[in-house]
């Protein structure tokens, strides 16, 4: 059995050829699965009876099963998806009046061990497959909310509750490269979710060679977790910096940005209307007394001179035993003012969903950590069913 959610459109066509069927049916099949959320081949009425029968014998449409579904007081919804008998990952949906942003996980845990990140503290178990990545979006697009009403707010179209996707959940997307690229292609495809490249963001802690590959293979909006103005401090906070230091990372950012595009970095309008490669977003977690001084803000200005960029300051979201404190809001504002006075756009990320631990860096999921013997709740409870098989055959 193959899971059709593991394929982009080219993959589905190849699969159809492999089973002796007409590849042109791939587009219809893709639309049924992703646009209509249909997983039972019998319901795909514009496919021939014989094709439906063959498909039910060799294929399935499976998405990860939600194990927990929490809605915060601000409407932020956090869903824990079981991906196998021992592991679960989290996705967070942030509804706003004019858009709905879904934050998706790419791995169970993360190997990069950034010291301020709850996912990083858990260690790494495994990469998610394409179907486990795309399945998070599929589920939010096609499932009703807890009270049965569609999953949307305000002006976001009824059939498209998710207008933006950010790869900012658990894991480092650029270390799960092949699955990430296929998943991004599905999200961008007009026959599937039709997201625009500007509304699809990959966030990375700085895997330099794969930033270059992403530029070639599937350029989408890029967010880079900078977090420190010097290698000395970044080595400590983001250990992958020892392999790919700041200078190399910033060079990769320069390469990512299309050199032919205007370099008027001070215009917010330009950034809003730009193509995904016009600028890079630097994420910067604000840690009290560690990376939040005025002189560090000025160092950042020097460091990023000539790069079309915007800064997103993220107040540190605490978790038990982190050892860090969140910068005071006056400090964050002062830091922001220095960046802005140097001509950079600098925003402060609103903390959303923190009463369900759905804010950045609080995502913990349930990880069978190879480094810590503590068992996750699913292990203790012996949860064994891991998949939510739609009415198709498995
Ligand atoms: N691995 C990728 C994407 C996932 S993390 C990356 O590191 O970019 C998404 C963002 O949340 C990153 O900028 C990350 O540095 C930040 N983050 C991690 N832990 C955090 C915390 N406790 N508080 C605030 N932001 C955090
Ligand atoms: Fe991994 Fe990103 Fe967390 Fe670092 S911040 S440990 S790269 S998920």
**If the chain, 394 residues long, is cut into consecutive pieces of 10 residues, what is the mean pLDDT of each piece?**
97 98 96 93 95 97 90 86 92 88 96 95 95 95 61 42 93 98 97 94 98 95 98 98 98 84 44 65 98 98 96 94 96 98 94 62 59 35 30 26
Angle between helices 294-303 and 329-341 (to 10 degrees): 30
Nearest ligand 2 atom, CA 118: 3
Give the CA distances from residue 385 to residues 45, 191, 262, in Å, rounded to whole numbers and listed in that order.
30, 31, 52
Ligand 1, atom 20, residue with closest C-alpha: 361
DSSP states of 58-114 as a string? Answer: HEE-EEEEEEEEEE-TTS-EEEEEE-SSS-EEEEEEEE-SS-EEEE---EEE-SS--
Ligand 2 centre to CA of 116 (Å) is: 9
- Beta carbon of 117 within 6 Å of any ligand 2 atom: yes
Ligand 2 centre to CA of 111 (Å) is: 8
User: Are 275 and 259 a contacting pair, CB within 8 Å?
Assistant: no
Any domain includes 92? yes
Ligand 2 centre to CA of 112 (Å) is: 6
DSSP states of 266-280 as a string? Answer: T-HHHHHHS-TTS-E
Q: Nearest Cα to 335, choosing from 297, 290, 389? A: 297
Strand, helix or coil for residue 375: coil
User: Are 316 and 329 a contacting pair, CB within 8 Å?
Assistant: no
Q: Which runs of consecutive H residues, i.e. helices, occur in 94-176?
A: 118-122, 130-142
Q: Is the dihedral of CA 284, 288, 294, 298 positive or negative?
A: negative
Any domain includes 161? yes
Any domain includes 72? yes
Q: How many helices (H) and strands (E) does the chain have?
A: 13, 15
Q: Give the whole-angstrom CA distance, residue 125 versus residue 85.
A: 13
pTM for this structure?
Answer: 0.88
- Taking the CA of 224 as reference, the closest ligand is 1
- Beta carbon of 120 within 6 Å of any ligand 2 atom: yes
Nearest ligand 1 atom, CA 204: 8
The pocket around ligand 1, CB under 6 angstroms, is made up of: 114, 116-118, 168, 172, 203-205, 225, 283, 285, 314, 316-317, 360-361
Any domain includes 21? no
Q: Give the whole-angstrom CA distance, residue 307 versus residue 187.
A: 28
CATH number of the domain within which 270 lies: 3.20.20.70
Which of the residues are catalytic? Answer: 90, 360
Token couple for 71? 């809605």
CA angle 5, 15, 189 (to 5 degrees): 50
Ligand 2 centre to CA of 224 (Å) is: 11
Token couple for 383? 């949860």
Instruction: Characterize 337-373 residue by residue with b for buried, 16 or more Cβ atoms within 10 angstroms of its Cβ, and e for exposed.
Output: ebbeebebbbebbebbbbebbbbbbbbbbbbbbeeee
Number of domains comprising the chain: 1
Any domain includes 31? no
Any domain includes 52? no
Indicate the top mutation candidate among 109, 285, 286 to test ligand 1's pocket, ranked by most ligand atoms within 8 A of CB: 285
- Beta carbon of 110 within 6 Å of any ligand 2 atom: yes
Any domain includes 28? no
* In the block, residue with structure tokens 């319901």: 43
Domain span at 99:
63-390
Of all helices (H) and strands (E), which one includes residue 29?
helix 25-30
Ligand 2 centre to CA of 31 (Å) is: 34
Give the strand order in the sheet containing 387-389: 345-348, 309-315, 280-286, 221-225, 200-204, 164-167, 100-103, 88-95, 77-82, 62-71, 387-389
Any domain includes 17? no
Ligand 2, atom 6, residue with closest C-alpha: 120
pLDDT of residue 255: 94
- Taking the CA of 281 as reference, the closest ligand is 1
């Amino acid at each position: 059995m193959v899971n059709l959610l593991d394929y982009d459109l080219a993959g589905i066509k190849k699969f159809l050829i492999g089973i002796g069927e007409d590849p042109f049916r791939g587009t219809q099949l893709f639309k049924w699965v992703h646009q209509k959320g249909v997983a039972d081949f019998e319901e795909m009425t514009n496919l021939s009876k014989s094709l439906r029968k063959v498909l039910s014998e060799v294929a399935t449409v499976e998405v990860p099963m939600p194990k927990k579904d929490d809605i915060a007081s601000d409407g932020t919804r956090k869903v824990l998806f079981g991906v196998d008998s021992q592991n679960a990952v989290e996705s967070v949906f942030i509804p706003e009046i004019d858009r709905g942003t879904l934050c998706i996980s790419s791995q169970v845990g993360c190997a990069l061990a950034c010291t301020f990140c709850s996912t990083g503290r858990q260690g790494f178990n495994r990469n998610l497959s394409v179907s486990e990545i795309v399945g998070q979006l599929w589920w939010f697009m096609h499932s009703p909310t807890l009270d049965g009403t569609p999953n949307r707010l305000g002006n976001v179209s009824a059939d498209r509750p998710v207008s933006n996707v950010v790869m900012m959940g658990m894991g480092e997307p650029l270390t799960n490269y092949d699955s990430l690229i296929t998943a991004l292609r599905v999200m961008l495809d007009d026959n599937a979710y039709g997201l625009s490249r500007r509304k699809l963001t990959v966030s990375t802690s700085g895997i330099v060679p794969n930033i270059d590959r992403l530029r070639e293979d599937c350029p989408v909006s890029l967010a880079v977790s900078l977090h420190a103005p010097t290698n000395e401090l970044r080595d400590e906070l983001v250990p992958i910096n020892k392999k790919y230091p700041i200078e190399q990372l910033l060079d990769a950012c320069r390469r990512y940005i299309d050199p032919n595009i205007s370099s008027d970095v001070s215009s917010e309008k330009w950034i809003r209307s730009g193509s995904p490669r016009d600028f890079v977003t630097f994420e910067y977690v604000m840690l009290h007394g560690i990376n939040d001084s005025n002189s560090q803000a000025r160092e950042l200005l020097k460091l990023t001179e000539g790069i079309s960029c915007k800064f997103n300051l993220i107040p540190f979201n605490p978790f038990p035993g982190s050892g860090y404190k969140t910068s005071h809001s006056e400090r964050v504002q002062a830091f922001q003012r220095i960046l802005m006075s140097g001509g950079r756009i600098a925003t402060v990320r609103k903390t959303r969903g923190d009463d369900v631990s759905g804010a950045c860096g609080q995502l913990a999921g349930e990880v069978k950590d190879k480094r810590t013997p503590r068992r996750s709740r699913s292990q203790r409870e012996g949860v064994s069913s891991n998949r939510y098989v739609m009415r198709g055959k498995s």
